[in-house]
Amino acid sequence: MSESYKVAILGATGAVGTELLELLESRDFPVSELKLLASPRSAGRTMPFKGENLPVEVLDENSFQGVDIVLASAGGSTSKAWASKAVAAGAVVIDNSSAFRMDASVPLVIPEVNPEAASTHRGIIANPNCTTILMAVAVWPLHQVQPVQRLVAATYQSASGAGARAMEEVKQQATAILQGETPKAEIFPYPLAFNLFPHNSKLTELGYCEEEMKMVNETRKIFGDSQIRITATCVRVPVLRAHSEAINLEFKQPFPVEQAREILSQAPGVKLVEDWQANYFPMPFEASGRDEVLVGRIRQDISHTCGLELWLSGDQIRKGAALNAVQIAELLVSKNQVRPTAAVTS
């Protein structure tokens, strides 16, 4: 016997919601019934799932009745307004927004890093920020062998981080520029096609933007180590999908490059991509649509005897968002930590 679960996707028509739908099908998640929830502007739409066209429902007070798992990806304000209602109805909410990440009572989970944290939930589990997830999957295996003392990150973030409309905007901007026209910017503050700029999230009093502080604070919470010194510079680049990051790690003792390479070649959720003769390393083009975080160009930091450098690319929509959420749901199911709606014979 195995259990099946009534699942709701909140924000089903967005880039992450669409990916959640595909992953539930491709990974054969035990779904007894699937509800697709979105705003009124999506009313009347249908989306394919296992040979059927499911209707998109408008979110309302009755949306979570009988639901076991809510995969939420509709923005922080929506999660703050509706997550507690879903929990009150008996569901576990796996939330992809920033609404609950730094709430001390809400676990912030990456299954390859801190799966045990999921069992402490009180109805809500937070999905970390995309850049944090990609970085942590690569850094955690090394941190387990020798704790990281300082981490310096520079991100190269694609349009996908701002959703499907942002990706379309970059395409339109590129077309306009190539035709000699002035590109229009609506989703981003400036044209991104053939351009780049520091991440457009709100600046804090420290001079860091919110995206950079997410990497700092979330990593400390996930690693369970408030003493790690972390700094980040986040940049939007004219790439449609998948983020890349340059990571510098400082340890107490030297960390042999070959040891780091061997550890990462066997790490869960990581694929080592290195061909030094061909100067071939992780690229967002090849990371798009893949589950693994591509890691390579691992080398000694020539400015510090205890430093390592590495480069990574990972699909922001997939492992940076939707896949991580589905993996959390799979983790809960494997631990029997979700109330099932029905039992089915396997």
Query: What is the model's pTM?
Result: 0.94
pLDDT at 346: 31
User: For each successive 10 residues of the chain (346 residues), what is the average pLDDT?
Assistant: 85 94 97 95 91 94 95 94 95 96 97 96 96 98 98 97 92 98 96 97 96 98 96 98 98 98 98 98 97 98 98 97 98 84 38
User: Which residue among 130, 143, 199, 234 is the active-site one?
Assistant: 130
List residues forming the annotated binding site for substrate. 157, 210, 236
Alpha-helical (H) ranges within the chain are 15-26, 76-88, 130-145, 164-178, 210-223, 257-265, 284-287, 323-334
Supply the pLDDT for residue 336: 86
Respond yes or no: is residue 209 known to be catalytic.
no
- Residues of the binding site for phosphate: 101
- pLDDT score of 72: 97
First to last CA, the chain: 6
Question: In the prediction, which pLDDT does 2 show?
Answer: 60
Binding site, annotated residues: 13-16, 41-42, 101, 157, 160-161, 183, 210, 236, 316
- In this prediction, residue 345 carries a pLDDT of 31
Q: What is the pLDDT of residue 88?
A: 95
* Model pLDDT, residue 343: 38
Neighbour-count burial of 25, counting CB atoms closer than 10 A to its CB (0-12 exposed, 13-18 middle, 19+ buried): middle
Contacts of 56 (CB under 8 A, 6+ apart): 12, 13, 36, 37, 38, 42, 43, 44, 45, 46, 47
Binding site for NADP(+): which residues? 13-16, 41-42, 160-161, 183, 316
> Per DSSP, what are the bridge partners of residue 95?
72, 126
| Cα angle value 299/223/220 (rounded, 5°) | 95
Query: Can 306 be counted among the known catalytic residues?
Result: no
Candidates 121, 209, 243, 306; catalytic one = 243
Written as six digits, the tokens of 309 are 């450098």
Residue type, 111: P
